[in-house]
């Protein structure tokens, strides 16, 4: 299955948007967190600044989001992880309301109640969770609802290679296969579960090999490449829409930043990130687009300007938005 | 005049589910052995024959997966009922319950609705030991985001189940095995009641005075309501007039009903089958303690619950730790004889 020109350009622009968003967040996140604005003696204060709490950024992992979401419609469901921005952006979640949520503002997706790991956008059927492995069961639920309604909608559960050792993974794969649910399980193997390498956590080399144990096809995407992800996802989404059941995809992708922002990454081999960045999937796709005459300097400049404008506007919207009234903390437990 | 007939609590639960399934195509049930078997404790008896496998779905032993599936399906507009076979099993799936089902509505600022009913069997007294005899509704009432419903009889069970299914929020529905009216477990026959054939809903947050009285109040729920009524009958022979208040729901809690009763009697026993420590009995006692400017107690509050031990297997041991009629009677007599440190 070959991507159309529109899809190619969409993937390129989406990945650029994610990358710029995440790299902007690297800077914004640090605002207010460093000396001298913080408690004396501390090098960093996680609680301070306009974006407090934990921050998990997906720079380097753009191809997974772009390659999969290129096949999805608004009615398809995506459930993401604690590292959710690339999935949300690729699914079409409005950047301004997402950023406002991350800033804890009342204009955010969850009125500031969820924050960066708990982004909910029912209009775009996007949700995510801070609990490892928690994306798989609700994706099965969305798929079950689609099946019961007779629609050809699909659900995608994204999770990491670390999550593939959690019970929810095994239960969900079995259930989805047993009930032939239209769900695609996409494992982002970025090698690192915080500081623990895959080979020190998983008994086998490839999670795609686990698929056979659950009665579904497994596809191993060996490169951090949007087109390769696109192909694997295309096969899987088509299967699901036809009622043929679930598929497991594992993509070897690259986590350019720490597990969380502030992570000193002492566990990571020296030079690893520099080496990964030399094979940037966005640069690679850009080169391929140029080869196909879909991209030139002028067009690239236009795309990048548009992306930059969207990112700037989103962050400005978040900064300008108001915080919720403290009394709101007691609201919305129940509807 | 609408017809009634006597139903066991199990039949009443199943009838409530059936009537809502007839009315609303979005309602379906998932759980272990809930299809042809009809649920280990009868909660889905007869439903498979009526609605078939598409809507009465047996699941693998995968609580995390199917409770998460219920959550995900509810987010898409369906109205699932999931059965957790024993409340004791919540350990294998609690993350999906308390971190997701309970919290997604709040974390989304009210944008995500999760109309899920999670029903489960509770209670001991029949020698099922530590991992199969617990009540645990205190745990679920403690964490925010779940409504907690605990019926004591068939009439309430049907009305509360219908209300639960119609509620757009996650509802935990706890049915005590010892009042379901199962043909294979001794039960309190008072739980089997007249149940109207038509559909009806009982609002949450409304306790029921099971027995009106003047001398002391027993606040209780579930199977313990029946033990309290037996105790009240015994005490009436000594001219002690006991009021028994059946809470019916813990979240929301009908605190006004509790206050009205205690203001009338001045003496309170909270009788619970859940663990004594850090639970329902402490919550009720604290709610009274915070209102001593408007509630006059004649005696210190009495609390009965399982006293900080796992539920033992051997019958004399189990009967010693799960509050019994005799324990209730004893505590009521204590209440009648007790005085405050500084009487008014």
pLDDT tens sequence across B279-321: 999 999 999 999 999 999 999 999 999 999 999 999 999 999 9
Interface of B with A in 138-177 (CB under 8 A): 144-145, 147, 168-169
> Domain for residue B228, yes or no?
yes
Same domain, B164 and B36: yes
- Per the structure, the complete domain to which residue A231 belongs is given by 53-261
Inter-chain CB proximity B109 and A109 less than 8 Å: yes
Q: How many domains does chain A have?
A: 1
Give the domain CATH number at B185.
3.40.50.970
The whole-angstrom separation of Cα A216 and Cα A212 is: 6
B342 domain-assigned: no
User: B110–A174: do the CB atoms touch at under 8 Å?
Assistant: no
* Domain annotation covers residue B263: yes
Asked whether residue A331 is assigned to any structural domain, the reply reads no
pLDDT of res. A264: 86
pLDDT tens-digit series, residues B204-222: 999 999 999 999 999 999 9
Domain limit, last residue, from B196, B218, B246: B196
pLDDT at A295: 98
Q: What is the DSSP letter of A258?
A: -
Domain membership of residue A115 (yes or no) is: yes
Contacts B28 to A, Cβ<8 Å: 148
Based on the domain organization, do B99 and B166 belong to the same domain?
A: yes
Q: Is the pLDDT of residue B267 over 90?
A: yes
Q: What is the pLDDT of residue B343?
A: 61
Element (H, E) at A221: strand A218-221
Q: How confident is the model at residue B2 (pLDDT cuts 50, 70, 90)?
A: low
Closest CA relative to residue A61, chosen from A204, A196, A254: A254
Distance from CA of B309 to the nearest CA of A (A): 29
Contact B78 A145 (CB under 8 A): yes
If asked whether residues B216 and B188 sit together in one domain, one would say no
Residues of A with Cβ-Cβ distance to B24 under 8 angstroms:
none
For A177, nearest residue in chain B (alpha carbons): B60
Of B139, B178, B182, B246, the residue nearest B8 (C-alpha): B182
Tell me, what DSSP letter sits at residue A327? Answer: G
Give residue B215's domain range: 208-337
Poorest-pLDDT segment among A253-267, B73-87, B139-153: A253-267
Looking at residue B4, its pLDDT comes to 74
pLDDT value at residue B35:
97
Q: Which of B63, B77, B99 shows the shortest C-beta gap to A145?
A: B77
C-beta of residue A63 within 8 angstroms of C-beta of residue A10: no
Per the annotation, the verdict on B142 as an active-site residue is no
Q: Which of B55, B56, B68, B82 to mutate to test the interface with A (most CBs of A within 10 A)?
A: B68
Q: Name the burial class of residue B91, with classes exposed (0-12), middle (13-18) and buried (19+) by CB atoms within 10 angstroms of its CB.
A: exposed
What predicted TM-score, i.e. pTM, was given to this entire model?
A: 0.94
User: Mean pLDDT across the stretch A280-299?
Assistant: 98
Residues 116-135 in A contacting B (C-alpha not used; CB under 8 Å): 118, 120-122, 125, 127, 129, 131, 134
Q: Are residues B42 and B67 in the same domain?
A: yes
- Percent above pLDDT 90 for chain A: 98
- Rounded to whole angstroms, the Cα distance separating A196 from B15 reads 52
The answer to whether residue A11 sits within a structural domain is no
Is residue A214 pLDDT above 60, yes or no? yes
Question: Residues of A with CB below 8 A from B109's CB?
Answer: 108-114, 120, 332
Q: What pLDDT score does A37 carry?
A: 87
- Has residue B201 been placed in a domain? no
The rounded mean pLDDT for chain A is: 97
Please report whether residue B203 resides in a domain.
Answer: no
What was the ipTM of the complex prediction?
A: 0.92
Q: Which residues between 69 and 128 in chain B have a beta carbon less than 8 angstroms from any beta carbon of chain A?
A: 69-78, 80, 92, 95-96, 99-100, 103-113
User: Which residues in chain A are contacts of B140 at CB distance < 8 A?
Assistant: none
Nearest to B111 among A79, A120, A334 (CB): A120
Out of B196, B228, B262, pick the residue that ends a domain.
B196
> Å from B270 to nearest chain A CA?
27
Specify the number of domains making up chain B: 2
Query: Per-residue confidence at A151, pLDDT binned at 50, 70, 90?
Result: very high
Strands (E), A162-201: 183-189, 192-193, 196-197
Note the pLDDT tens digit of each residue in A23-42. 999 999 999 999 998 999 99
Of B196, B220, B252, the residue at which a domain comes to its end is: B196
Measured between CA atoms, how close is A40 to chain B, in angstroms?
A: 33
- Taking 80 as the threshold, does the pLDDT of residue A16 lie above it? yes
Tell me, yes or no, whether B68 and B157 share the same domain.
yes
> What would you measure as the largest C-alpha separation in chain B, in angstroms?
65
Q: Do B107 and A331 touch (CB under 8 A)?
A: no
CA distance B209 to B243: 7
Between chains, do B64 and A118 touch, taking CB under 8 Å as contact?
Answer: no
**A79 interface with B at CB cutoff 8 Å:** yes
A180 and chain B: CB distance < 8 Å anywhere? no
pLDDT at B344: 58
Neighboring chain A residues of B65 at a CB cutoff of 8 Å: 136-137, 140, 168, 171-172, 174-175
- Shortest distance, CA A331 to any CA of chain B (angstroms): 8
- To test the contact with chain A by mutation, choose from B27, B55, B64 the residue with the greatest count of A C-beta atoms within 10 A, namely B64
Identify whether the C-beta of residue A133 lies closer than 8 Å to the C-beta of residue A193: no
What is the per-residue pLDDT for B199?
Answer: 98
CATH number of the domain enclosing B303: 3.40.50.920
Is B48 within a domain? yes
Other Cβ atoms less than 10 A from the Cβ of A120: the count is 25
Distant-in-sequence, close-in-space partners of B1: CB < 8 Å, separation ≥ 6: none
Compute CA distances A204 → A167, A185, A194, B342, whole Å: 16, 18, 19, 71
Of the partner residues A77, A110, A142, the one whose CB lies closest to the CB of residue B107:
A110
d(CA B342, CA A269): 71
pLDDT, average across residues B69-89: 98
Site from A79, A100, A145 to mutate, B interface, most B CB atoms within 10 angstroms: A145
Chain B residue with the nearest C-alpha to that of A97: B108
Residues in A touching B92 (Cβ below 8 Å): 167
Other C-beta atoms lying within 10 Å of the C-beta of residue B344:
7
Chain A contact for B293, CB < 8 A? no
Q: What percent of chain A has pLDDT over 70?
A: 100
Residue A118: the pLDDT is 97
Is A137's CB within 8 Å of B64's CB? yes
Express each pLDDT in B176-197 by its tens digit.
999 999 999 999 999 999 999 9
User: Which pair of tokens denotes residue A22?
Assistant: 């995440």
Give the CA angle between residues B223, B227, B233 to the nearest 5°: 145
pLDDT digits (tens, 9 = 90+) for A186-198: 999 999 999 999 9
B22 and B153 part of one domain: yes
């Amino acid at each position: 299955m070959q991507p159309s020109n529109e899809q190619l350009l969409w993937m390129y622009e989406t990945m650029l948007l994610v990358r710029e968003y995440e790299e902007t967040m690297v800077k914004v996140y640090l605002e207010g967190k460093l000396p001298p604005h913080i408690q004396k003696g501390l090098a960093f204060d996680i609680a301070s600044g306009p974006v407090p709490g934990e921050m998990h950024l997906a720079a380097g992992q753009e191809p997974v989001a772009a390659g999969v979401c290129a096949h999805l419609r608004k009615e398809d469901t995506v459930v993401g992880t604690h590292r959710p921005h690339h999935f949300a952006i690729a699914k079409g979640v409005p950047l301004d309301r997402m950023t406002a949520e991350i800033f804890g503002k009342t204009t955010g997706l969850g009125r500031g109640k969820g924050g960066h790991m708990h982004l909910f956008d029912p209009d775009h059927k996007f949700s995510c969770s801070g609990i490892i492995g928690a994306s798989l069961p609700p994706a099965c639920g969305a798929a079950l609802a689609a099946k019961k309604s007779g629609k050809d909608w699909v659900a995608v559960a994204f999770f990491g290679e670390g999550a593939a050792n959690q019970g929810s993974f095994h239960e969900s794969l079995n259930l989805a296969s047993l009930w032939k649910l239209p769900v695609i399980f996409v494992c982002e193997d970025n090698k690192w579960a915080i500081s623990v390498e895959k080979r020190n956590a998983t008994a086998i080399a490839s999670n795609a090999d686990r698929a056979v144990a659950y009665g579904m096809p497994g596809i191993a995407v060996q490169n951090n490449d949007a087109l390769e992800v696109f192909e694997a996802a295309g096969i899987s989404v088509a299967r699901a829409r036809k009622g043929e059941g679930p598929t497991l995809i594992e993509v070897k992708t690259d986590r350019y930043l720490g597990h969380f922002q502030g992570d000193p990454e002492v566990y990571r081999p020296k030079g690893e990130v520099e080496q990964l960045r030399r094979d940037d999937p966005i640069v690679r796709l850009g080169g391929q687009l140029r080869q196909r005459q879909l991209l030139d300097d002028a067009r690239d400049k236009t795309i990048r300007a548009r992306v930059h404008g969207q990112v700037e506007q989103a962050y400005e919207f978040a900064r300008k938005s108001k915080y919720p009234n403290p009394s709101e903390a007691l609201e919305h437990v129940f509807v | 005049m609408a017809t009634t007939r006597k139903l066991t609590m199990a039949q009443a639960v199943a009838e409530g589910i059936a009537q809502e399934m007839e009315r609303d195509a979005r309602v379906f049930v998932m759980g272990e052995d809930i299809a042809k078997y009809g649920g280990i404790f009868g909660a889905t008896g007869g439903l498979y024959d009526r609605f078939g496998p598409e809507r009465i779905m047996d699941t693998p032993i995968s609580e995390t997966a199917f409770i998460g599936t219920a959550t995900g399906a509810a987010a898409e507009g369906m109205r699932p009922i999931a059965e957790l076979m024993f409340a004791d099993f919540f350990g294998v799936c609690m993350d999906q319950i308390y971190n997701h089902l309970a919290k997604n509505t709040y974390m989304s600022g009210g944008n995500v609705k999760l109309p899920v009913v999670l029903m489960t069997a509770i209670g001991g007294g029949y020698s099922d030991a530590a991992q199969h005899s617990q009540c645990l509704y205190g745990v679920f009432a403690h964490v925010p985001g779940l409504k907690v419903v605990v019926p004591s009889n068939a009439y309430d069970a049907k009305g509360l189940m219908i209300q639960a299914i119609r509620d757009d929020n996650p509802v935990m529905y706890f049915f005590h095995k010892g009042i379901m009216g199962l043909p294979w477990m001794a039960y309190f026959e008072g739980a089997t009641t007249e149940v109207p054939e038509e559909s009806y809903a009982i609002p949450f947050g409304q306790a029921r005075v099971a027995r009106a009285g003047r001398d002391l109040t027993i606040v209780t729920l579930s199977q313990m309501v029946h033990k309290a009524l037996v105790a009240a009958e015994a005490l009436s022979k000594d001219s002690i007039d006991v009021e028994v208040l059946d809470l019916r729901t813990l979240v929301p809690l009908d605190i006004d009903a509790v206050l009205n009763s205690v203001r009338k009697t001045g003496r309170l026993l909270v009788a619970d089958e859940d663990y004594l420590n850090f639970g329902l009995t402490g919550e009720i006692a604290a709610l009274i303690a915070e209102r001593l400017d408007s509630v006059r107690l004649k005696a210190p509050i009495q609390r009965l619950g399982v006293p900080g031990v796992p539920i033992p297997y051997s019958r004399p041991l189990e009967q010693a730790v799960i509050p019994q009629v005799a324990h209730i009677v004893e505590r009521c007599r204590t209440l009648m004889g007790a005085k405050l440190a500084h009487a008014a």
